Amino acid sequence: MESRLTPYQASPLIECKAALVFAPHPDDEALGCGGLLCAFKSAGIVTSAVLVTSGDYGEHGKAGSEVRENETRKAAEILGLSHVVFWKEKDRGVAFNERTVAAARNAIIESQADLILTPSINEIHPDHRATAWIVIEGRDLRVAQYEIGSPLTRVDVLVDITAHEETKRAAIAVYHSQLSISPYDEFIFALNRFRTYTLPVQVKFAEGYNLITPELLQQPQLLCE
């Protein structure tokens, strides 16, 4: 049945008491899960974010890390993030090791979040994949993988972000340094539109998420099957 691969009904959000987003670069949080963050804001759910790098590599970093971090702070205010931390890891050099895993565990404990948002392990960008594995190694977590540069192969939850479209667009729009390089807003909203393929006609935009349970995280090798 197709419903084993993607839902045929939309959800208003992913239930949690608090959420923590891990974003490899400034703008990933807005692009990948900006609609869900808006839904959390509307529901009064506390959210915070860890920005793993400041996006200072190559053309994407030509504006400088300070500019990109300031863009993130502006987007965070729009999305309702209560707290943002910048790890300043090397852009295009995020390492999955004991140090970064320990830092992730500490961030999760401090946030008191019971839902962790991270890019998918199947993303194109190496920093996205490394960030996913850093989070996954934390174990005993509820993790929702979001999509940016590569569509998820299996979607467990489709969050209806129709009511939050304008706010998500506003958050993405503050990333002038990135939109001057490529129309990432157009790409992501094309994906969000496509995610409504199996949903009722009144749902205009949706974000897809793959959910990982604590039980599955005890055997992370199964995630690749």
Helix 184-194 to helix 28-43 angle (10° resolution) is 60
Count of CB atoms situated within 10 Å of the CB of 160: 23
Count of CB atoms situated within 10 Å of the CB of 112: 11
Summarize the confidence of residues 22-27 as an average pLDDT.
98
Residue 17, class by beta-carbon neighbours within 10 Å (0-12 exposed, 13-18 middle, 19+ buried)? exposed
d(CA 5, CA 12): 19
d(CA 22, CA 183): 23
Q: Kindly report the pTM of this predicted structure.
A: 0.94
**What does the pLDDT look like over 44-55, one tens digit per residue?**
999 999 999 999
Residue 86: predicted pLDDT: 98
**What does the pLDDT look like over 159-208, one tens digit per residue?**
999 999 999 999 999 999 999 999 999 999 999 999 999 999 999 999 99
Cβ(48)–Cβ(111) below 8 Å: yes
Summarize the confidence of residues 143-149 as an average pLDDT.
97
Residue 65 in this model has a pLDDT that exceeds 70: yes
Instruction: Determine what percent of the chain is predicted with pLDDT higher than 90.
Output: 89
Summarize the confidence of residues 9-16 as an average pLDDT.
98
Cβ(178)–Cβ(60) below 8 Å: yes
Mean of all residue pLDDT scores within the chain: 94
**What does the pLDDT look like over 120-144, one tens digit per residue?**
999 999 999 999 999 998 778 899 9
Place of tokens 């990982």: 212
Select the more confidently predicted residue: 113 or 218: 113
Count of CB atoms situated within 10 Å of the CB of 181: 13
